Amino acid sequence: MKTTIIAISAFLIAMLALMVPMPPANALLTSGVLKTAGSSTVLPVSQDAEIDYENWMLSTQGMTIDAQIAGGGSGAGFSQILGGTIDVGASSRPPTTAEWNNTNGANLRIWAIGIDSIAIIVPVSNNWIHNVTGQQVSDLFSKYANGTAVYTYWDDFAPGAPHQVINRAVRDLTSGTHECFRNNFLTPFGRTDANLANNIEQKTNNIDVYNLLTSPAGQYYIAYIGLGFLHLGGLNGLWIYNTAKGDYIEPTKAHVIDGSYPPWRWLWYMTIGVPRADTEDKAKSIWISFIKMNATYMDREGYIEMQRGDFAGAPSGDVQAPLHPSVPDGKINSADTFYFIDAFIAYFDTARKELNPYIDFNADGQIGSADVFAYLDAYAAFYS
């Protein structure tokens, strides 16, 4: 059955490629500035790719692009892209309903570029906590209705630990890192942000949490951080109990990939509308495809690359509202084939001229036969 599906998909897309003539390369664009801001989880990836992207644009497009990269957190990424002050937003969470309902929200487009998780962390000097259940993590960060923390001192939680107050560091509550924490360690145990015990909120960056916990002042802290930041060293990622496995699972990329370490999230870029191929917008699309199609950047920052042909298929609930076409589901199937065909047609529609970054496999600013065969290769590889 899978072989038949692949063959039918290959035939449909190959026929489409033969029917539509290739346009000449766009030579109208010569220079510009690309501004991106948002998620501190995505920030290292953007910074890593910045110079390579600028060189790529000059060599392949003849465009001198100044990529200006900033962080600020996922909430800032959404507010700035919706406010029109940046070209590409970055986020480690999907939009909220309020963000979709923003004046510009109807034209918001989100593009998954990789996969990450979070780790519950303590300093390496903390030798009294290693394995925890999800319930225990929730308890360590929570308070009772009367405002008293479930655990006040470390020896309350772990007999034999120092009689020291448990300090907690959290990310700002609009960040994608916090949303992942909330979804995995608060919501499943009937808790919300209102249940968080006293904490220090780090508003701008995962690295702020890292710096705090690796400083002398961080000795008795517990916090959470994007999984990719563990590779910096100096922190212990707590092993989380997996009921189905009957064991505690180390927070590693391999365990996120095989599903045994539960916390999991997409990393996103955002644009207003699908960028056009015949305006300066093209630089936005190539930025996204250049990073998505080069697994090196995700790997170097400790994140996980996507399936290159996975574009669509997730239920609308995965991005809250409304139904969004560009949300991958971890598989490559007929939903992705039809998505590819629609995006292919939109590129050759003179009124739309959409340069969809998902299907520009070689990040050359054009959609053509090379992208068709790249998708077919990804499709076949998924089932091999």
Distance from C-alpha of 150 to C-alpha of 191, rounded to nearest angstrom: 13
User: What mean pLDDT, rounded, does the chain reach?
Assistant: 88
CA atoms within 13 A on the CB side of 268: 29
Distance from C-alpha of 178 to C-alpha of 168, rounded to nearest angstrom: 13
Fold of 2-115+266-383: D-Maltodextrin-Binding Protein; domain 2 (3.40.190)
Give residue 377's pLDDT. Answer: 94
Give residue 264's pLDDT. Answer: 85
Helix pair 176-185, 74-83: axis angle to 10 deg: 130
Identify the CATH class of 118-257: alpha beta
- Extract the tokens encoding 193: 């942000």
Give residue 172's pLDDT. Answer: 87
- Residue spans in the chain of domains classed CATH 3.40.190.10: 2-115+266-383, 118-257
Are the beta carbons of 276 and 282 closer than 8 angstroms?
yes
Share of the chain above pLDDT 70, in %: 88
Distance from C-alpha of 39 to C-alpha of 309, rounded to nearest angstrom: 24
pLDDT in tens, 285-342: 999 999 999 989 999 988 999 888 999 887 655 554 444 677 888 889 999 999 999 9
Tally of CB atoms within 10 A around 128? 13
Phi-psi region of 363 (alpha: psi -120 to 50; beta: other; left: phi over 0): left
Give residue 4's pLDDT. Answer: 47
Distance from C-alpha of 322 to C-alpha of 343, rounded to nearest angstrom: 19
Give residue 31's pLDDT. Answer: 62
Checking if the pLDDT of 25 tops 90, the result is no
Q: Which helix (H) or strand (E) holds 75?
A: helix 74-83
Question: Would you place residue 97 in the very low, low, confident or very high pLDDT band (cuts 50, 70, 90)?
Answer: confident
Closest by CA position to 328, among listed 306, 345, 343: 306
Checking if the pLDDT of 188 tops 70, the result is yes
Give residue 59's pLDDT. Answer: 95
